[in-house]
Structure 1
Amino acid sequence: MPSFASWLLTTGLAAVANAISSNDSLVAQQIDTQPFPYDFPKLGVNGSDLFPMRDCHGFTLEEASIDDIQAQLKAGRFTGSQLLQCYLERIYQVQPYTNAVLQFNPDAMAIAEALDAERKQGTVRGPLHGIPFLVKDNIASKDKMETTAGSWALVGSVVPRDSYVVHRLREAGAVLLGKATLSEWADMRSNDYSEGYSGRGGQCRNPYNFTVNPGGSSSGSGVAVTSNQVPFALGTETDGSVINPAERSNVVGIKPTVGLTSRAGVIPESLHQDTVGTFGKTVRDAAYALDAIYGIDPRDNETYAQQGKTPAGGYAQFLTNQTALKGAVFGLPWLSFWQYNDAAQNAQLMELLALIEAAGATIINGTELPHYKEIVDPSGWNWDYGTTRGYPNQSEYSYVKVDFYNNIRDYLAELNNTNMRSLEDIVQYNIDNAGSEGGVPGVNPAFASGQDGFLASLATKGEMNETYWQALEYCHRTSREEGIDAALHYQGRNLTALLVPPDFAPSIEIAAQAGYPVVTLPAGINKDSHMPYGLALMGTAYSEATLIKYASAIEDVQLSSNTPWKRSLATWSGYLDRNIPITLACQEYWPALGRDTVPVTARAVLLGWCFWKSGRGKILRMKPQQHPHVGPLCALIGLVETCPFRPACQDTPLRVRPDFTASSTDAKPPPSHAQQGHPVRLVAYLILLRGFAVKATSSARISESGPVIPSVIRVFPDTLDSPVEVSFPPWFFESSASKQERVRPQLPDMEEDYIASILHPPPVNSPGARGPQ
């Protein structure tokens, strides 16, 4: 009987028959020809080794700078098309985890090959010739890709032309690889959302810690650069959307002066604040990208303001080394921003500042913004802080939501092949497609409040009324001449720049209101959350040359020393977690927080655990005022007179209850209670120490360096002098029997099952259950 192989030969399948007859299975052949010989993630390793990047034709592409790559292209080690293939392989490796790329450009390889032909003929357009890049999906490209701001509502629409910045990058010889994921509509649609999530793109995740806020709204741009999926990327910012994802992705971000880079072809929010910025692993890479995109564009009138204010020859010429720091004078606005930043992070940043001073710079503390008490929300990012304080005519959001209503109508008018012509159309689309777009609250956990941002904009009808103009004038004045400019002219002395902690979002929020530039540098990793943070340089309008010069000098200090406070590879913490959207871990708890059948102290534990687990409340740009039952929660349990959700409370600075004495001699908890995870004590640990900066006086904050199970909390004044000790009152340690609360054996190991018991309590009549309080 003829063999199966000989039968195949008779049918003409000779290649298959030969493979089988030579004992090579088809499956083995297919595996052998795959481009990835290793598993990914690489099993049995931890940290940065989990997702090792392959060499590109013998060259270590991981962490390579644009100059490094150009040297290899010039030497002929590989071509631009081969370089593109190496980056595509990297994206294929990590995309299932990071989801940084929303769409690939099907013409990218053809573009790379055409640029290779130019290089072969001796033409090199500049430092970006043949270099792949991504743009945020709100930046138009007239090609085979969509431009949708992450929304299904704009799928199929056709833009009239390339955006100006994409056009300029094409001219510079860069290769548009694709579109990066983003927070849908660049964070405009909702005030309670999952950062980095869009209906069309899904959830972008940060490779340093997949379980927390990746930063946004230019989430994919930052994540793609830090995980070596592209050398550089473009993002946009209205308020924090370049600097925030850059610092949380451990890369350099340049947010230019409004008007330095054209917004033509960019899906708008507010033309008073919108700007296009750059991401790179180094200051040089980000500066190369900025050089390619800035300039006057007749389609954006704001760009004419840069005439006579920009350098001939671009910004890369100002790149330097640490010797430039000699004679530089930086301001440190401590009361304005630093006092509210994470204490442990501040301690690490102070070590970096000491290195900067050792290199010859002078740093002056106390260079404050005159109105910081009115314009800086101590609890974090809040672009409606004026309204929170009762003054909508002092709120950034008062004019941004009006601008968006008008600007989006103008943008949509130029699109072809779409029936989206107004904000009303988009709002209705989201309602009609609530399953994918979460147009109503409670349907999509990524958009817990539905589209309340759109609805707030819709309610204005685009009317530029008295409140609009007063708010615009107030925000410009208090952030510009009576803000950043005043701080830069300290006691008659002109400072080089202000140094601010971008992880405290209001520091970059003020620059957004001013329309002023910011450059952020990688500065370290939080040892608890594994998330990066940065050090930012802030200047006046059109001071990019100065900021880039001194950012590169500080970067040289970092790279030439053994300090840990600099860029490092991603550690891929939590890569096996499946918290998509990211807010789901917290968002699912809100119903329990408002449920009367859940004990008040249990609700407080739940809230504290959620914020502790998410890295001190930074899991999303949360608007606590959207959850009125959360606002007074801490006050309800008797912990404080006013609650730590100051945007929600609209109250005076938080005060600790009078029975919190300023003495450490009060009764300590019995040993049995110290061994029990009593929920009221968990409130103290999780909310006080790991959550919010509870104020013992008008100017004090909790130190996180205290004991794990404290009976006394240490409160440091803003002057950082000797601490004040504040004891817990006796009621804090009442027995679990008297409170009828469930307990856990120890701290902080109280997590999933205790939380589950709160979320899913037994029936009221069952043992251990509690009724309404």
Structure 2
Amino acid sequence: MDRRDFVRIGVVAGSFAGALAGAAGAASAVTPKPRPRAESDILEAGVREQSAAMAAGTITSQALVQRYLARIAAIDKAGPRLNAVIETNPEAVKIAQELDRERAGGKLRGPLHGIPVLLKDNIATGDRMCTTAGSLALDGVRASRDAFVAARLRAAGAVIIGKTNLSEWANMRSTHSVSGWSARGGQTRNPYALDRNPSGSSSGSGAAIAASLATLAVGTETDGSIVSPASSCGIVGLKPTLGLVSRSGIIPIAHSQDTAGPMTRSVADAALMLAAMTGVDTEDGVTKESQGKVADYAAALRLDGLRGKRIGVARNFFGGSTAIDAIVDKELALLQAQGAVLVDVTVPNTDKYGETEIEVLLHEFAPDLKDWLAAYAPHAPVKNMADVIAFNEKQAAREMPYFGQEHLIAAHAKRGLDAKVYREALANNLRYAREEGIDQVLRAHRLDALVAPTGGVAWLTDYINGDHYGMSFSSPAAVAGYPHITVPAGQTRGLPVGLSFVGTAWSEATLIGMAYAYEQASQRRRAPGFPATVNVQV
């Protein structure tokens, strides 16, 4: 059973620069060089193209930031009114100016130097922006310091230009939630059909990158919250291995599954961004497991990344839509044409952690949230889950006009992390998602990865019935804590379809190589046109 039926949720700068330089030498024979772009479409361009333009002096970081801020005003706050950006950074232009001065002085922090990025509004920033998870209970609350991920991106030279809207409390509020809606930010709309849902919980990040409101964005995932909105919004989403990217400073659902990850318009951008986000964090002990396991992700960007790879086609994650299955089957032939060996498989035991997954998430939510509030928002008016519940009840007209807070209430009622039911549920999840799940099928068939449709296409936003998730491939990797990357695979009725690559722990470089080779061969991404609804004639 898909756990979203329950939850509805959807190295340092110097070494980073060195890694990219090494990758350029290793992969130059097979990696295409950035294509020059006219200034008119620089906002759709990726990191390498924008960096090349800044190096050539045809644009500055300040100008790039100002153009994205103008596009946010024109498209997100007016025009189609995507509602993807919840807040812009009043210091963004000043930060870009300083990075331009560094560039002029010969100092480059790495490939992301001067590149604009958006962060999901559950990632703490110790600046003039708020960190709220979309809740009015935290409206106006500024975090005491940066989340580790935010600090890493700043150190790499990225310009944080704003925060993105999200499903409130990362879609862990109600059993009948509407993805992309928060009381603080309102409803995010899908750029491919404005009456369709962008999926959640990283809804704003997905819609913003699809609409070219920034070069890069950070999403967070517990189960599906990066890969599902990435698929629904026609972009690349990468959920890393648990522990590769620090969780400190991110408003939590559950430490057993939470992670941040890149959301971008290309696999190359996701790889460069991931390299900047990784690192051991003394405040997040699980990141110690990443020592010696961080790879050269830029070097993985090779056109021959599929050659000789054995890939399991997870057939038990097909069947949700004949249209999607037909698209993905066509793309599987392209994988074979690029040298991959495909084997039809079934991922075992996926029915054995549906209910126990939500048990773990509910047990961890309240204590994890209490710890975050104490560490990053000590002056917030709410201190714990009970306070949040009480605030929502008092502000029901604004906080609960469409759906309630059943998950918050259930989380508050749980007996804590020492409860036997919690410990048994966690052990069950790891057993059946890891060693008797993904790892078992990879070993049995000598596979490098699994592929399947990421999920269904965007559904109509519906405040009466809530979300309408179809079949999803997110849970096995999410519960296991293993990496998952989704890449645009085409469209049906004008709505994007994603193809997922999933592997064992720390296999990001392998997955990036396969995803990049597929992306470069397929070129399936198409920019959105912001139609009011689906063109059924497509």
| Partner-residue secondary structure (3-state), 2:223 | coil
Contact 2:482–2:504 under 8 Å retained in 1: yes
Identify the structure with bigger relative contact order (alpha carbons < 8 Å, sequence gap 6+).
2
1:456 corresponds to which of 395, 410, 429:
410
- C-alpha separation between the residues in 2 aligned to 1:214 and 1:274? 20
1:499 corresponds to which of 431, 451, 455:
451
1:552 offset after TM fit, Å? 0.6
2:525 corresponds to which of 543, 562, 567:
567
- C-alpha separation between the residues in 1 aligned to 2:410 and 2:535? 28
Q: For residue 337 of structure 1, what is the aligned residue in structure 2?
A: 317
Deviation digits for residues 595-643 of structure 1 (CA, Å, limit 9, x no counterpart):
xxxxxxxxxxxxxxxxxx999xxxxxxxxxxxxxxxxxxxxxxxxxxxx
Alignment map for 1:148-227 (pairs within 5 Å): 148-227=132-211
Q: For residue 374 of structure 2, what is the aligned residue in structure 1?
A: 413
Alignment map for 1:261-280 (pairs within 5 Å): 261-280=245-264
| Partner-residue secondary structure (3-state), 1:512 | helix
Mapped pair 1:548 → 2:506: no
- Runs of 4+ more than 4 Å apart: none
| Partner-residue secondary structure (3-state), 1:268 | coil
Mapped pair 1:525 → 2:520: no
1:58 offset after TM fit, Å? 3.6
- C-alpha separation between the residues in 1 aligned to 2:178 and 2:420? 33
- C-alpha separation between the residues in 1 aligned to 2:371 and 2:506? 28
- C-alpha separation between the residues in 1 aligned to 2:417 and 2:448? 40
1:156 offset after TM fit, Å? 3.0
- Residue type of the alignment partner of 1:71: A
Contact 1:235–1:277 under 8 Å retained in 2: yes
When structure 1 is superposed on structure 2, of 56-65 and 114-123 the one drifting more is 56-65
1:418 offset after TM fit, Å? 1.8
Mapped pair 1:476 → 2:430: yes
| Partner-residue secondary structure (3-state), 2:473 | helix
Deviation digits for residues 112-136 of structure 1 (CA, Å, limit 9, x no counterpart):
0000101111112111111111000
Q: For residue 536 of structure 1, what is the aligned residue in structure 2?
A: 500
- C-alpha separation between the residues in 1 aligned to 2:151 and 2:352? 42
Contact 2:417–2:423 under 8 Å retained in 1: no
- C-alpha separation between the residues in 2 aligned to 1:397 and 1:140? 25
Contact 1:163–1:264 under 8 Å retained in 2: yes
CA shift in 2, pair 1:614/1:400, >3 Å = farther
Q: For residue 348 of structure 2, what is the aligned residue in structure 1?
A: 370
Mapped pair 1:67 → 2:44: no
Alignment map for 1:38-77 (pairs within 5 Å): 58-77=39-58
Q: For residue 327 of structure 2, what is the aligned residue in structure 1?
A: 348
| Partner-residue secondary structure (3-state), 1:551 | helix
Contact 2:227–2:486 under 8 Å retained in 1: yes
Contact 1:156–1:417 under 8 Å retained in 2: no
Count of residues in Structure 1 that have an aligned counterpart in Structure 2: 483
- Residue type of the alignment partner of 1:537: F
- C-alpha separation between the residues in 2 aligned to 1:263 and 1:185? 15
Contact 2:128–2:142 under 8 Å retained in 1: no
2:396 corresponds to which of 431, 434, 452:
434
Deviation digits for residues 539-591 of structure 1 (CA, Å, limit 9, x no counterpart):
001110111111111111113xxxxxx1111132216xxxxxxxxxxxxxxxx
1:308 offset after TM fit, Å? 2.1
1:506 offset after TM fit, Å? 3.9
- Residue type of the alignment partner of 1:337: F
- C-alpha separation between the residues in 2 aligned to 1:479 and 1:57? 47
1:61 offset after TM fit, Å? 1.7
Question: Identity of counterpart residues, as a percentage?
Answer: 41
Alignment map for 1:250-269 (pairs within 5 Å): 250-269=234-253
Q: For residue 360 of structure 1, what is the aligned residue in structure 2?
A: 339
1:461 offset after TM fit, Å? 4.1
CA RMSD of superposed structures (Å): 1.8
| Partner-residue secondary structure (3-state), 2:42 | coil
Using the size of structure 2 for normalisation, the TM-score is 0.87
- Residue type of the alignment partner of 1:555: E
- Residue type of the alignment partner of 1:412: L
1:373 offset after TM fit, Å? 4.8
CA shift in 2, pair 1:212/1:59, >3 Å = closer
1:465 offset after TM fit, Å? 1.8
Q: For residue 399 of structure 1, what is the aligned residue in structure 2?
A: 360
- C-alpha separation between the residues in 1 aligned to 2:268 and 2:135? 33
Contact 2:352–2:432 under 8 Å retained in 1: no
Larger radius of gyration: 1
1:510 offset after TM fit, Å? 1.6
| Partner-residue secondary structure (3-state), 2:498 | strand
Mapped pair 1:486 → 2:454: no
